[in-house]
Structure 1
Amino acid sequence: MDRYPLQVEARRDEPLSRGLWLIKWLLLIPHFVVLLVLWTGVVVLTLAAYLAVLFTGRYPASIRAYNLGVLRWSWRVGYYGYEVLGTDVYPPFTLADVPDYPARLRLDPPERIPRWLPLVAWLFAMPHLFILGALNGAASRSAGVGDAYWYAPLSITLTVVLIGAVALLFTGRYPRGLHDLLLGLARWGLRVAAYLMLLTPRYPPLRLDQGATEPDPVPDAPVAADPPVHPARPSAVGSVIALVVGVLMLAPGIGLGIGGGVLLGLDAARDGAGYVTSPELRVESSTAAITAENLTITDAGVWTRTAADVGGLRVSAISPTGRALFVGIAPQSAVDTWLTGTAHDELVGFTSGRARYERAPGPLRPATGPVDQSFWLAQSSGAGTATLQWAVTDGRYAVVIANLDGSPAVTADVTGAVQVPGLAGLGSGLLIAGVLLFLLAVALIILGGVGLGRRHSPPPLAGQPPTPSVPPVLTGS
Structure 2
Amino acid sequence: MSNQILTEIHVDLDNRDKNTALFRVFLAFPVLIFLSSFSEFADNLPGVIGGFLVLPVVLSLLFRNVYPSYVLAFNKALLELSNRINAYLLLLTDEYPSIEANQKVRLIYPEIEGGKKLSPWMPLVKWFLAIPLFLLGLIYAIYALALTLVAWITVISQGHYPEEKAEEVIKVIAYWNRLYGYALLLITDEYPSFSLN
Q: TM-score, normalised by structure 2?
A: 0.85
1:198 aligns with 2:186: yes
1:51 aligns with 2:59: yes
Aligned pairs (5 A) from 1:175-254: 175-196=162-183, 197-209=185-197
Equivalent of 2:144 in 157, 166, 169: 157
Match of 1:243 in 2: none
Match of 1:87 in 2: 93
* Kept in 2: contact 1:76–1:103 (CA 8 A): yes
Equivalent of 1:73 in 58, 76, 81: 81
CA distance in 2, matches of 1:119, 1:43: 19
SS of the equivalent of 1:19 reads helix
Aligned-CA RMSD value: 1.8
Q: CA deviation at 1:46?
A: 0.8
Q: CA deviation at 1:65?
A: 0.7
* Kept in 1: contact 2:4–2:181 (CA 8 A): no
Compared CA separation, residues 44 and 106, structure 1 to 2 (3 A): closer
Match of 1:22 in 2: 22
SS of the equivalent of 2:53 reads helix
The CA deviation string for residues 44-71 of structure 1, in whole angstroms up to 9 with x for no partner, is 7211211111111111111111001100
Compared CA separation, residues 38 and 106, structure 1 to 2 (3 A): farther
Which amino acid is the alignment partner of residue 81 of structure 2? W
Equivalent of 2:157 in 157, 170, 185: 170
Which amino acid is the alignment partner of residue 18 of structure 1? K
* Kept in 2: contact 1:57–1:115 (CA 8 A): yes
1:34 aligns with 2:39: no
Match of 1:98 in 2: 102
Match of 1:118 in 2: 123
The CA deviation string for residues 50-99 of structure 1, in whole angstroms up to 9 with x for no partner, is 111111111111111100110011001111113xx1111112112xx323
CA distance in 1, matches of 2:174, 2:144: 13
Which amino acid is the alignment partner of residue 134 of structure 1? I
Aligned pairs (5 A) from 1:46-445: 46-82=54-90, 85-94=91-100, 97-99=101-103, 102-111=104-113, 112-136=117-141, 155-196=142-183, 197-209=185-197
CA distance in 1, matches of 2:26, 2:52: 28
Q: CA deviation at 1:15?
A: 1.9
The CA deviation string for residues 333-353 of structure 1, in whole angstroms up to 9 with x for no partner, is xxxxxxxxxxxxxxxxxxxxx
Q: CA deviation at 1:27?
A: 1.9
Point out where structure 2 has 5 or more consecutive residues left out of the alignment.
42-49
Which amino acid is the alignment partner of residue 97 of structure 2? P
Match of 1:11 in 2: 10
Which amino acid is the alignment partner of residue 112 of structure 2? P
Compared CA separation, residues 90 and 49, structure 1 to 2 (3 A): same
Identity %: 25
SS of the equivalent of 2:6 reads strand
CA distance in 1, matches of 2:119, 2:194: 21
CA distance in 1, matches of 2:31, 2:86: 10
Which amino acid is the alignment partner of residue 70 of structure 1? L
Q: CA deviation at 1:198?
A: 0.5
More helix by share: 2
SS of the equivalent of 1:45 reads coil
CA distance in 2, matches of 1:203, 1:117: 11
* Kept in 2: contact 1:52–1:58 (CA 8 A): yes
Aligned pairs (5 A) from 1:452-467: none
CA distance in 2, matches of 1:179, 1:206: 20
* Kept in 1: contact 2:18–2:155 (CA 8 A): yes
Q: CA deviation at 1:43?
A: 4.5
Compared CA separation, residues 44 and 188, structure 1 to 2 (3 A): closer
CA distance in 1, matches of 2:132, 2:97: 32
* Kept in 2: contact 1:68–1:199 (CA 8 A): no
* Kept in 2: contact 1:8–1:105 (CA 8 A): yes
Q: CA deviation at 1:202?
A: 2.4
CA distance in 1, matches of 2:51, 2:157: 41
Q: TM-score, normalised by structure 1?
A: 0.37
Q: CA deviation at 1:175?
A: 1.0
CA distance in 2, matches of 1:128, 1:20: 33
Point out where structure 1 has 5 or more consecutive residues left out of the alignment.
137-154, 210-477
CA distance in 2, matches of 1:114, 1:37: 32
Compared CA separation, residues 191 and 63, structure 1 to 2 (3 A): same
* Kept in 1: contact 2:52–2:75 (CA 8 A): no
